[in-house]
Amino acid sequence: MAKHKEVPEHIQRLLREVVDHFDKEDRAVRERQIRLWKKLKYYWNGFQRVWWSEVAHDWRVYDVQYMDQTGDASFYDKPVNIFRAYLESIIAALSVTVPSINCAPDDADNPLDISTAKAGDTIAELVYKHNDVTLLWLHALYIFCTEGLVCAYSYPKEDKAYGEYEKNEYEDIEQEVAKQICPICKTMLADKELSNQERDEFAPDDSDILGHDLLNQGMDFCPQCLQTIEPELQVEKIIVPRLVGITKHPKTRQCIEVYGGLYVKVANYAMKQADTPYLIFSYETHYSNVLERYPFLKDKFKASSASTKSSGIYDPYERWGRLSTQYYGEYPLNTPTVRNAWLRHAAFNVLSDEDDIEELKKLYPDGSKVVLINDQFADAENESLDDCWTLTHNPLSDYLHHDPMGLLLTSIQEITNDIISLTLQTIEHGISQTFADPNVLNFDQYRQVEATPGMIFPAKPASGKSLGEAFYELKTANLSGEILPFMMKIEEAGQLVSGALPSLFGGAQPNSSKTAAQYSMSRAQAMQRLQIPWKMLTVWWKQIFGKVIPAYIKCVVEDEKFVKKSKAGNFVNVFVRKAELQGKIGNIELEASEQLPITWAQQKDIIMQMLQASNPMVMQALTSPENLPYITEAIGLRQFVIPGEDDRTKQYEEIQLLVESQPIEDPSGMEPMVPSVDIEPMVDNNQIHSDICRGWLVSEAGRLAKMENPAGYQNVMLHMQRHVKVMQVMSMNAAQETQPQQKEKPIAAQVKQRGQLS
């Protein structure tokens, strides 16, 4: 548990005054925003029949509160959630892959910067694992569709669950040390080692004559006053650090969280992140979690009265906006609101007293983070807003806040609900009603008889009238022929406004030929519409890791390690070494940031087209041993056996053994050194094995082994040379076998020619 610094009462009062000032500004705009975002949350979760209550100031759900009152009317409320279906199609298309991070050095000629940039790529990969960025990216897309502005909060967190590291603890102690001084000029004299250095001085001149003469005589003299002396001893006390023990500390990880406008409040007039003087992040949690972090607030939150209500008049509305839609207007108990407010340096200017402003600016020169539990002051520290938060910037909006993508679908959803409800009612009421003369048909007896095919029921027509005249059939409603075309128009309008064209979720465009080429072109056009949100989010993602990676480097105390699967299919250790983090990272970019992610189906189509092209260079690349696993996975036939796959696996296993050992002496004495793992010429595919070895030697792992493990690198080199020699011998033998055949062919031709002449 972190130890919190005591904050004076008057500083608490000033900080609370600044936070309240910004929390109350633009309150009317904030309420309209919460109202809209909450409605979209209801739509996402399938609550389509909602209405706004001016009395309760919240959304009311018909399905729950009014089902019993409306009776049979609820029978026709069968909404189809196309709102969520369209948005999920967009989210799925943009979340095929998460953009990869690529760090560049600050100076390409500085080896330290280059090693730090490479380590930055590894750090990004490690942070990806720690934060499950696939789910984080999905949640960011969900917020973009339902709330618009996406806010990322990145921060370091210490926890024993992440592991522990050992730290040496030292204690400063006083120690007496005897030193020799000159009794004449009180100059500290050098030790014997320095005297020897003076005697061995290179190219002495006339100024060294007296000193060197005295040294040769074995006499002590003062180099300052050049007098023969008897040194005096002087005892001095110095501070010496001493190891007193070893303590364990929890490791630190970089955590990333994503929130929307319901949790984060920024200035509505801000055009970019630098324009907002504040950021307020609020959430609800059980008061026990609050007391775990701030135990000094225990008297404020007791089990009998958790004090979940804030004294402010606006907080309940904020709390309602953040509530789960499953509460149906109710409120959870024992959940106070935690407000975290980041204030910029300029935000303190809202105070009226200049002395108070200067005092806060001196205490918090980089800005302040203030924590309030309901209205109780909890903590304050010096912290920069921009170091912790990264907000999306929509180039199609003039301000930070922009309309969510789902807003365009609300009218489509409401029209669809009305069409479905009216269609169901029309179909039911389209069943005709029959009126009958009770003097002709005995209704009491008819109700007691079960209707069967071909049954005969006695009926007596009225005098002078036929039996048919006693019955009248009335059809109350007919389904209009315009319903189906109108629904198709609404469906096309929904696809147009959202960008979720049928090609995204596997459907075909209307009036298309449904060929593979037509479908591929249609999908490319559909994905082109999503270039705008993709570019915006990838730039935002790059900015996040521009803060996360330097923060990780700052917190590193020892080498970090994680395990991943290599291209060869083997598990390898990947290290983040502290010694490699001494340089500076210039900038952080994304790999293929302009290109939308492609699915496995698209990758399969590309590979099949390359195979059909039959280009020799392309075929050579596709059949490369390193590409065989990728092709197998892209094709999707796991049981499909590709020739050479086992040779590739075998060689990578041998490389692992070779790296862990070193070359040995040749028992036959024909060669000075041989690899510790010999080849099997009659078993191995020498071409594949040599290609794998060469690929490893020039790879990053091979280059690193060349510097850190030269014996293992040489071991792999000798192993490859053996495969190459076998191929050379086989090639020479094949050439020698073909030469006698070429010589015999002209002789046979001469004999044949002589036979024809005779």
Residue 404 is predicted with a pLDDT of 92
Beta bridge partners of 247: 167
Look at residue 236 and tell me whether its pLDDT is greater than 80. Answer: no
State the angle between helix axes of 710-757 and 700-708 in degrees (0 to 180), rounded to the nearest 10.
Answer: 120
Phi then psi for 279, rounded to 5 degrees?
-150, 125
The encoded tokens of residue 564 equal 């991943």
Instruction: Classify 46 in phi/psi space as left (phi over 0), alpha (psi -120 to 50) or beta.
Output: left
CA angle 204/206/210 to nearest 5° reads 90
Rounded alpha-carbon distances, angstroms, from residue 469 to 166, 433, 472, 752: 102, 15, 7, 113
Q: Which amino acid is at 655?
A: I
Q: Which of 235-239, 282-286, 381-385 has the lowest mean pLDDT?
A: 235-239
pLDDT tens for each residue of 155-182: 998 888 787 777 778 787 877 777 778 7
Query: In the numeric block, which tokens belong to residue 250?
Result: 């929890």
Contact at 8 Å (CB) between 60 and 50? yes
Stretch 274-296: mean pLDDT: 91
Q: Which residues contact 242 (CB under 8 A, 6 or more apart)?
A: 170, 171, 172, 173
Task: Report the distance separating Cα 712 and Cα 661, nearest Å.
Answer: 6
- Kind and range of the H or E run holding 587: strand 585-590
Q: What are phi and psi of 277, to 5 degrees?
A: -80, -5
Query: Which of the given ranges, 87-96, 257-266, 689-698, has the highest pLDDT on average?
Result: 257-266
Q: What is the pLDDT of residues 327-366, one digit of tens each?
A: 776 778 888 889 999 999 899 999 999 999 999 999 999 9
* Neighbour order of strands in the sheet with 368-373: 264-265, 278-284, 337-343, 368-373, 376-382
What does the pLDDT look like over 707-733, one tens digit per residue?
889 999 999 999 999 999 998 888 888
Query: pLDDT at residue 650 above 50?
Result: yes
Residue pLDDT, tens place only, 515-546: 555 555 556 666 677 888 888 998 999 999 99
In the chain, domain spans: 166-246, 643-745
Question: Which of 82-86, 382-386, 734-738 bottoms out in mean pLDDT, i.e. has the lowest?
Answer: 734-738
Residue 726: half-sphere exposure toward Cβ, Cα within 13 Å: 19
Mean pLDDT of 189-213: 55
Distance from CA of residue 17 to its chain's centroid?
A: 37
**How far is C-alpha 585 from the chain's CA centre?**
20
Report pLDDT digits (tens) over 292-328.
888 888 887 654 444 444 444 456 778 888 888 887 7
Residue 136 has pLDDT above 80, yes or no: yes
pLDDT of residue 599: 55
Tokens (6 digits) for 465 = 């009238």
Can you tell me the distance from the alpha carbon of 556 to that of 162, in angstroms, rounded to the nearest whole number?
Answer: 13
Mean pLDDT on 571-598? 74
Token pair listed for 341: 């407010």
Predicted pLDDT of residue 399? 92
Mean pLDDT of the chain: 79
Q: What distance, in Å, lies between the first and last C-alpha atoms of the chain?
A: 111
| pLDDT tens, position by position, 81-131 | 889 988 988 898 888 888 888 888 888 778 888 888 888 888 888 899 889
Structure confidence at residue 197 (pLDDT): 47
* pLDDT of 531: 83
Q: What is the pLDDT of residues 603-614, one digit of tens each?
A: 666 666 666 666
Measured CA to CA in angstroms, residue 321 lies from 25, 142, 328, 378 at distances of 18, 17, 12, 24
pLDDT grade for 368, boundaries at 50, 70 and 90? very high
Residues 684-702 have a mean pLDDT of 87
Question: How many other C-beta atoms are found inside a 10 Å radius of the C-beta of residue 622?
Answer: 15
pLDDT of 342: 95
Dig out the tokens for 516 from the structure.
């593979």
Check: CB of residue 688 under 8 Å from CB of residue 732.
no
Of 332, 344, 356, 371, give the one whose Cα is nearest residue 273.
Answer: 344
Its sign, for the CA torsion 200, 201, 203, 207, is negative
What tens digit of pLDDT does each residue of 442-500 get? Answer: 888 888 888 788 778 788 788 778 888 888 777 766 777 788 888 888 888 888 887 77
Reduce the DSSP state of residue 269 to 3 states and report it: coil
**Residue ranges of E strands in 318-428:** 337-343, 368-373, 376-382, 389-391
Ranking 78-87, 112-121, 419-428, 741-750 by mean pLDDT, the lowest is 741-750
Share of the chain above pLDDT 90, in %: 22
User: Would you state the pLDDT for residue 420?
Assistant: 84
pLDDT for the residue 37: 93
More confidently predicted of 410 and 207: 410
Angle between helix 354-363 and 9-24 (nearest 10): 100
Please, which pLDDT band fits residue 216 given cuts at 50, 70 and 90? low
Statement: residue 508 has pLDDT above 60: no
For a pLDDT cut of 70, what percent of the chain falls above it? 76
Q: In this predicted structure, which of 251-265, 311-325, 373-387, 403-417 has the lowest mean pLDDT?
A: 311-325
Q: What is the Cα gyration radius of the chain?
A: 41
